[in-house]
């Protein structure tokens, strides 16, 4: 039962909070003492977090406290951030597409990943993995591999006969790509030939979030984790940007996946650039009108 909480009944006050908070009813009372039911725990650690007596713990090889290398913080939860401060901070985060030539330490990037895994996940699966590419030369090499992928793709879709024959085995994917992306990608390839990095925008680091597809919400889980990275990066004075072209390319390229050491059964959930912004925004961005209905 290594994955079940350990209960010290000498410390337990029998307050019952752990029983009430457990989402799987994995904790119960037997003969006047707390005990756990084998195979029921999903490792959410709600019982640990609610126990003021310190009577509940977990095997450190199964669950660990999140530790940061460059950030000091209280290990007692605080919820005294005002709504106004939270809204101001969140709205001031922008997608950054121009970075300064300042390298990032491995420790800072490791802290971003450690904060990523504090995000919620469906059934507490935490089924995510991270690949960190740190160094402008490494990022540019990945950009070049993606560039070569699109060069080959554009050669294929440039031929109208190939585009229409592909309907027989690939549906209308190539037709849609040609209509929606061919021209912009061709422009990007021309700029890349001049040494410009229009894909990663000169960022010194890139973080990939990937994982298997088991669990109830694997794709949403990856987005939560990725946005945690974006928020903490913003608090650290860094910028981020979600790179959709890179996500879709790495998902489809066996060669790039092998180069990055990403397992074949993993889905690419997010690709983010990270670095110091070269531009400072002094006003909040505007937003489109949106539909909403209340029932």
**CATH code where residue 248 lies:** 3.40.109.10
Length of the chain: 295
pLDDT in tens, 166-204: 887 777 888 888 888 888 888 888 888 888 888 999 999
Do residue 227 and residue 274 come from a single domain?
Answer: yes
Residue whose pair of structure tokens reads 């961005």 in the numeric block: 285
Do residue 47 and residue 177 come from a single domain?
Answer: no
Q: What mean pLDDT comes out for the span 159-171?
A: 80
Do residue 32 and residue 86 come from a single domain?
Answer: no
Q: Which of 96-100, 111-115, 166-170 has the lowest mean pLDDT?
A: 166-170
Compute the 3-state secondary structure of the chain and give helix, strand, coil in percent, each to the nearest 5: 40, 15, 45
Do residue 118 and residue 41 come from a single domain?
Answer: no
Do residue 109 and residue 198 come from a single domain?
Answer: yes
Whether residue 162 is predicted with pLDDT greater than 80 in this model: the reply is yes
**Residue 154 is assigned to a structural domain of this protein:** yes
Phi-psi region for residue 177, left (φ > 0), alpha (ψ -120 to 50) or beta? Answer: alpha
Per DSSP, the residues of 203-217 read: -SEEEEEEE-S-SS-
pLDDT in tens, 7-65: 999 999 999 999 999 998 999 999 888 988 877 888 999 999 999 999 999 998 889 89
Token pair belonging to 81:
């951030």
Instruction: Find the domain containing 160 and state its range.
Output: 82-295
Q: What mean pLDDT comes out for the span 228-250?
A: 96
Per DSSP, the residues of 219-281 read: HHHHHHHHHHHHHHHHHTT-EEEE-HHHHHHHHH-HHHHHHHT--TTPEEEEEEEEE-BSS--
Do residue 21 and residue 103 come from a single domain?
Answer: no
Whether residue 209 is predicted with pLDDT greater than 80 in this model: the reply is yes
Residue 1's pLDDT band, with cuts at 50, 70 and 90, is very low
Token pair belonging to 66:
């999140």
The whole-number pLDDT of residue 76 equals 82
Do residue 92 and residue 12 come from a single domain?
Answer: no
Mean pLDDT for all residues in the chain: 92
Residue whose pair of structure tokens reads 């925004």 in the numeric block: 281
Q: What mean pLDDT comes out for the span 267-291?
A: 95
Phi-psi region for residue 171, left (φ > 0), alpha (ψ -120 to 50) or beta? Answer: left
**Residue 45 is assigned to a structural domain of this protein:** yes
The whole-number pLDDT of residue 266 equals 95
Q: What mean pLDDT comes out for the span 93-121?
A: 96
- Nearest C-alpha neighbor of 26 from the set 46, 10, 50, 52: 46
Do residue 50 and residue 96 come from a single domain?
Answer: no
Do residue 133 and residue 259 come from a single domain?
Answer: yes
- Could you give the CA distance from residue 244 to residue 225 in angstroms, rounded to a whole number? 16
Residues 6+ apart with CB under 8 A from 146: 199, 245, 246, 249, 250, 253, 256
**Residue 74 is assigned to a structural domain of this protein:** no
- Could you give the CA distance from residue 62 to residue 46 in angstroms, rounded to a whole number? 15
The whole-number pLDDT of residue 123 equals 87
Do residue 140 and residue 35 come from a single domain?
Answer: no
Do residue 89 and residue 49 come from a single domain?
Answer: no
The whole-number pLDDT of residue 44 equals 92
The whole-number pLDDT of residue 2 equals 54
CA 81 to chain centre: 24
**Residue 65 is assigned to a structural domain of this protein:** no
Number of domain units in the chain: 2
- Could you give the CA distance from residue 194 to residue 198 in angstroms, rounded to a whole number? 11
Do residue 10 and residue 146 come from a single domain?
Answer: no
Residues 6+ apart with CB under 8 A from 132: 106, 109, 110, 113, 205, 206, 207, 208
pLDDT in tens, 69-87: 999 988 788 888 999 999 9
The CATH number for 11's domain is: 3.30.70.20
Q: What is the pTM of this model?
A: 0.90
Residue 221's pLDDT band, with cuts at 50, 70 and 90, is very high
């Amino acid at each position: 039962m290594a994955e079940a909480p350990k209960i010290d009944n000498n410390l337990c006050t029998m307050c019952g909070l752990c029983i009430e908070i457990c989402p799987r009813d994995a904790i119960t009372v037997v003969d006047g003492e707390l005990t756990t039911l084998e195979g029921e725990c999903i490792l959410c650690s709600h019982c640990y977090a609610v126990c003021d007596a310190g009577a509940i713990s977990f095997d450190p090889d199964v669950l660990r406290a999140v530790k940061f290398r460059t950030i000091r913080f209280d290990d007692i939860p605080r919820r005294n951030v005002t709504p106004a401060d939270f809204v101001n901070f969140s709205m001031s985060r922008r997608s950054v597409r121009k970075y300064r030539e300042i390298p990032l330490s491995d420790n800072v990037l490791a802290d971003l990943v450690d904060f990523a895994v504090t995000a919620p996940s469906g059934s507490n699966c935490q089924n995510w993995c991270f690949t960190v590419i740190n160094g402008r030369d490494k990022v540019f090499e990945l950009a070049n591999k993606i560039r070569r992928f699109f060069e080959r793709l554009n050669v294929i879709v440039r031929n109208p006969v190939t585009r229409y024959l592909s309907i027989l085995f690939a549906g209308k994917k190539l037709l849609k790509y040609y209509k929606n992306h061919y021209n912009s990608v061709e422009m990007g390839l021309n700029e890349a030939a001049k040494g410009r990095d229009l894909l990663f925008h000169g960022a010194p680091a890139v973080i990939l979030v990937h994982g298997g597809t088991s669990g109830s919400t694997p794709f949403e889980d990856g987005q939560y984790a990725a946005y945690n990275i974006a928020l903490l990066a913003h608090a650290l004075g860094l910028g981020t940007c979600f790179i959709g072209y890179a996500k879709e390319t790495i998902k489809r390229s066996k060669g790039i996946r092998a180069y990055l050491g990403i397992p074949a059964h993993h889905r690419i959930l997010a690709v983010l650039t990270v670095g110091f912004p070269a531009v400072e925004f002094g006003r909040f961005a505007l937003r489109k009108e949106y539909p909403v209905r209340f029932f």
